[in-house]
Structure 1
Amino acid sequence: MGHVLESTVPKRVQPPRFLTVMVVSGITLALTLFGYSTTQIYLRFSEPPDAEGALPGAGATPAPTADPGGAAPADPGGSAPDGSTSVSTVSYQTVETSSGSFTGQVTVTNTGGSSLDDWELALGFADATVTDAWDVDWERTRTGIVARQPDWADPVGPGDSVTVSFTAEGEAQSPDSCALNGAPCDL
């Protein structure tokens, strides 16, 4: 009978050693600090817009505005890599509208004699927010969008065109400013 009672009596448990407690505490503290630091890094990517209103990563260059006189520059395409000039025309059309949003297309046609490479198209809107664009590298700016030639795309040859399609929230409207490679363009 003593043998049965002996098995039901709890045995004395040794308290944890000081070194074991310190190691476990150190690991716990290190994991907590690591988790906190990665949270801070993650939160950095969701900072509010800077003082100029650009989204993080959008760069500090807002979309240029058109010339008040509406005159098209002599060289809206900029310079080609070989030093010659490349003249381009830019046209816009609203493709689809719905309640509170629209889809637009901007077509850039190379009317010059040399290829248009590494192009950049900046569009500004009075009262619309671009939410998506496709077949281009793009970023939202305070007033619109900057679309760039994707790395995988070929240069726009003489007589060829490239189309930038996008969706935006707001009433259907034409861009109120346009710049191709930094030079204002008419739509």
Structure 2
Amino acid sequence: MRAGRRDPLAERPRRGGSRTRESRGAHRAEPANPGGLAAVGYFLGSTVPKRVQPPRLINVLLVSGVTLALTLFGYSTTQIYLRFSDPPDSGSPAPGAGERVPPTAEADAAQPGTGPGGSADSASSTVSVVSYETVESSATGFTGAVTVTNTGTAVLADWELALEFADATVTSVRDVDWRATEHGVVARAPDSSDGLGPGESVTLSFTAAGTAQAPVTCALNGRPCDLAGE
């Protein structure tokens, strides 16, 4: 090559050299003045929600396990609270409605002679004798007499005598208060009576329908009595 001669190839500029360097990366950056439409599009694109990734299986299992554990703990705590708040056992259940309570020893040891019309004081200090006799009889009925005698040391007040017959119906009783029963009669001292003093007696005369017969049972102030006489 001759000195001083210009090489046309060396002076020829590379095709697209400077333009290539200037335009490199232009597609990644925003233009200097994008304009109104481009700004609106960029704003709208930033407001679009991104796709949410579904929860992992391990996260779901972990949350479910924690929830179940808390639920079981709360349930066990409630059970313990209820157990401590139960009333203490009294040892024996109280009798319910309609359940019969057995009588106590005090009730069984009631004083004798406290039946209808009698008192404990008078019954404990009096001894009475009851006798019966048939006064007259016929084919359809008879008249009987029952005598009550106070052989004790206290007044026998407000006495009550109950008689029962096997096959007779009492139709009337004189000089006392009385009422007929299914198989006999109940006679009481009249309201005007002061009772039977020691050694005193009272006779009850009654009329009954049926064959002549003595009473089969006798009770004075609720206590059985033995009949003397026929």
Task: Establish whether residue 119 from structure 1 lines up as the match of residue 163 from structure 2.
Answer: no
Task: Establish whether residue 148 from structure 1 lines up as the match of residue 154 from structure 2.
Answer: no
Hey, what does 1:104 align to over in structure 2? 144
Aligned-partner SS, 1:127? coil
Q: CA RMSD in A?
A: 2.2
Kindly indicate whether the alpha-carbon contact (under 8 Å) linking 1:95 and 1:105 is maintained by their aligned counterparts in 2: yes
Hey, what does 1:137 align to over in structure 2? 177
Aligned-partner SS, 1:123? strand
Partner Cα distance (1:159, 1:83) in 2: 15
Kindly indicate whether the alpha-carbon contact (under 8 Å) linking 2:178 and 2:185 is maintained by their aligned counterparts in 1: yes
CA 1:121–1:83 in 2, change beyond 3 Å: closer, same or farther? closer
CA 1:83–1:159 in 2, change beyond 3 Å: closer, same or farther? closer
Partner Cα distance (1:173, 1:82) in 2: 31
1:62-73 mapped onto 2 (5 Å cutoff): none
Kindly indicate whether the alpha-carbon contact (under 8 Å) linking 2:128 and 2:152 is maintained by their aligned counterparts in 1: yes
Task: Establish whether residue 167 from structure 1 lines up as the match of residue 182 from structure 2.
Answer: no
Aligned-partner SS, 2:205? strand
Moved over 3 A (4+): 77-84
Displacement of 1:85 in angstroms is 2.2
Letter in 2 for 1:129: T
Displacement of 1:166 in angstroms is 0.2
Letter in 2 for 1:137: D
Task: Establish whether residue 183 from structure 1 lines up as the match of residue 223 from structure 2.
Answer: yes
Give the number of aligned pairs.
114
1:7-22 mapped onto 2 (5 Å cutoff): none
Kindly indicate whether the alpha-carbon contact (under 8 Å) linking 1:80 and 1:114 is maintained by their aligned counterparts in 2: no
Give ranges in structure 1 of 5+ residues lacking alignment: 1-73
Larger Rg: 2
Partner Cα distance (1:132, 1:152) in 2: 20
Percent identity over the alignment? Answer: 65
Give ranges in structure 2 of 5+ residues lacking alignment: 1-111
Kindly indicate whether the alpha-carbon contact (under 8 Å) linking 1:129 and 1:170 is maintained by their aligned counterparts in 2: yes
